[in-house]
Amino acid sequence: MHFMIERLMESAGGVIGFKVVGRVAVEDWERMEQQIQFLIHSRGKRPIGILLDFSDMAGFDLAARWEEVRFLQKHNLDIARMAVVGAHPWEKVRDMFVAAAALLQAETLYFEQSEFLHAWHWVRTSKYACDLPPARISAPDGIWKDYVPEYMDV
């Protein structure tokens, strides 16, 4: 199956959007990640908004999911809002985000494909639009910093 991740032309200011087609491999995620990191660094300490259009996505490879989780843990304070657009029922999309959502402190909303313009409006009108940093919920070094494997001496 042909795949691609296209940066949406509506991306501007502190908001970036992507349309995902097909199955996402780790190389695809890394290209998208570079563009998001560039925006994060260009904004300084001001959080960004992300719109992800998954209406034509077929899924993630395991390595791409791992990179997504790693990225979201590293940048959890840099993202204020994330809008997820999809043609699939929310339950299926939610299953793709269970692990990543635990690391991301941003507000995240799902929008039907017919609500695409509403998704752009919502992600652009973040409650952090005044450049106030989001409240910290977990330590910056991640939720696993104090984890001790239970069965290392087996």
Alpha-carbon span 144 to 32, nearest angstrom: 25
Q: What one-character DSSP code corresponds to residue 32?
A: H
Beta-sheet strand order (sheet of 107-112): 4-7, 15-24, 48-60, 79-86, 107-112
Alpha-carbon span 133 to 146, nearest angstrom: 25
C-beta of residue 106 within 8 angstroms of C-beta of residue 76: yes
Residue 81 has pLDDT above 70, yes or no: yes
pLDDT tens profile 86-133: 866 555 555 555 545 545 667 788 888 888 998 898 888 865 544 444
Q: Provide the whole-model pTM.
A: 0.72
pLDDT confidence of 138, banded at 50, 70, 90?
A: very low
Q: What is the mean pLDDT of the chain?
A: 76
Please count the other Cβ atoms lying within 10 Å of the Cβ belonging to residue 28. Answer: 21
Strand-pair partners of 57? 22
Alpha-carbon span 81 to 67, nearest angstrom: 20
Question: What are the chain's domains?
Answer: 4-124 (3.40.50.10600)
